[in-house]
């Protein structure tokens, strides 16, 4: 008799960051994760994570709504169902619940983790097999202080942790942001590439001015300079400048990717399991991009170790990621809730080994950081 899903538990976990993390829409000093513990009738537990940025400042799902919607709407659709047929289970969720991609991503991750443990296979193997066991990881400089960001970048270079950097801009006046970025790039020179993430903060006219100056300063990639819904404007920017555009909030899933490609977009897509609704739909977007000649970038919602590991298992199956990954979320946190942290070295991170995600919880720390 096939194993069925017996229970789904969700926990809100609050972990402090190592420093304030400044974005255009929020400044973070703590990250809240929704941890999913899925248990099946044969005694297997699958782990998942749903994480967003800055409460409701980033998107329509908050940690509290993710937990509430899983508990009230999504979990009842899964409990009592056979646990192995992911296609049927996720189709059931999508048929009855609109949207909520972060919540669905956490559940798909937990289902994959449980099935991998049952079969003795890693999540990457369930997704077709890993082509890579070590993936490059950039670091985001987001203190907002130019001198601090330069010192932090050199420290990361000297430690062999990161050799590519992204700057969060858009919260300040255009000229101030451009000067901040240009000074950091000038200080780093050829030792590292520098990209920027505007987090949708500019209108198209401002973006034209800003991107021209950033291109002149030697910036390698411009991420989501204008609002997500302005796809036509993003395509115009990609056609106008030599520096590539990275679509992030504008491209959640394969349908968004198809619309951009059909409109003539050239540049890159930021893949995120949270915005796609899970590792598998994120890989559907990746395959579309590869077919269309659009570059790939492994994005993060600043997840902890569980969500980061799920992304790594997905990205490891891809032939190449032209722009690397930003799977540094656990490094931004002062502590962790897992027994063994991910291994970061040589400007990247190792794919976790073992069945499922290859991640086990530290129960004491989970209890300590769980919201009461």
Is the Cβ–Cβ distance between 196 and 149 less than 8 Å? no
Sequence-distant (6+) residues with CB within 8 A of 175 are none
Q: How far is CA 297 from the centre of its chain?
A: 10
HEC string for 293-350? CCEEEECCCCCCHHHHHHHHHHHCCCCCCCCCECCCHHHHECCCCECCCCCEECCEEE
Helical axes 279-292 vs 305-315, angle rounded to 10° = 40
HEC string for 104-138? HHHHHHHHHHHHHHHHCCEHHHHCCCCCCCEEEEC
What is the CB neighbour count within 10 angstroms for residue 108? 27
Catalytic sites, residue numbers: 168, 326
**Residue 285: helix, strand or coil by DSSP?**
helix
Question: What span, in angstroms and rounded, lies between the C-alpha atoms of 7 and 271?
Answer: 30
Of 60, 16, 61, nearest in space to 34 by CA: 61
Is the Cβ–Cβ distance between 184 and 140 less than 8 Å? no
Residue 365: CA count within 13 A, CB half-sphere:
15
């Amino acid at each position: 008799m096939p194993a069925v899903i017996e229970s789904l538990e969700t926990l809100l976990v609050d972990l402090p960051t190592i420093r304030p993390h400044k974005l255009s829409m929020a400044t973070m000093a703590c990250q809240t994760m929704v941890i999913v513990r899925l248990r099946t009738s044969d005694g297997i537990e699958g782990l998942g994570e749903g994480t967003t940025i800055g409460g409701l400042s980033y998107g329509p799902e908050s940690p509290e709504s993710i937990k509430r919607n899983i508990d009230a709407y999504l979990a009842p659709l899964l409990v009592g169902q056979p646990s192995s047929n992911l296609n049927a289970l996720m189709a059931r969720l999508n048929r009855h619940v609109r949207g909520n991609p972060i919540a669905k991503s956490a559940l798909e991750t937990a289902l994959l983790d449980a099935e991998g443990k049952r079969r003795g296979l890693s999540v990457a193997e369930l997704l077709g097999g890993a082509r890579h066991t070590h993936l490059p990881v950039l670091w985001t400089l987001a203190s907002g202080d130019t001198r601090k960001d330069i010192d932090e970048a050199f420290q990361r270079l000297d430690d062999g942790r990161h050799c590519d950097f992204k700057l969060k801009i858009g919260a300040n006046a255009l000229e101030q942001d451009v000067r901040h970025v240009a000074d950091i790039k000038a200080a780093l020179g050829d030792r590292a590439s520098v990209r920027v993430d505007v987090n949708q903060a500019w209108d198209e006219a401002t973006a034209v001015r800003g991107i021209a100056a950033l291109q002149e300063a030697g910036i390698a990639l411009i991420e989501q300079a204008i609002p997500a819904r302005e796809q036509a404007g993003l395509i115009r920017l990609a056609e106008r400048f030599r520096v590539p555009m990275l679509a992030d909030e504008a491209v959640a899933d394969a349908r968004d990717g198809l619309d951009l490609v059909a409109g003539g977009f050239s540049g890159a897509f930021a893949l995120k399991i949270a915005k796609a609704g899970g590792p598998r739909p994120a890989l559907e977007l990746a395959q579309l991009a590869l077919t269309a000649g659009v570059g790939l970038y492994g994005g993060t919602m600043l997840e902890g170790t569980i969500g980061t590991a799920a992304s790594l298992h997905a990205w490891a199956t891809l032939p190449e990621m032209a722009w690397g990954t930003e799977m540094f979320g656990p490094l931004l946190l002062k502590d962790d809730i897992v027994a063994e942290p991910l291994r970061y070295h040589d400007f990247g991170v190792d794919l976790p080994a073992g069945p499922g995600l290859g991640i086990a919880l530290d129960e004491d720390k989970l209890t300590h950081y769980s919201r009461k």
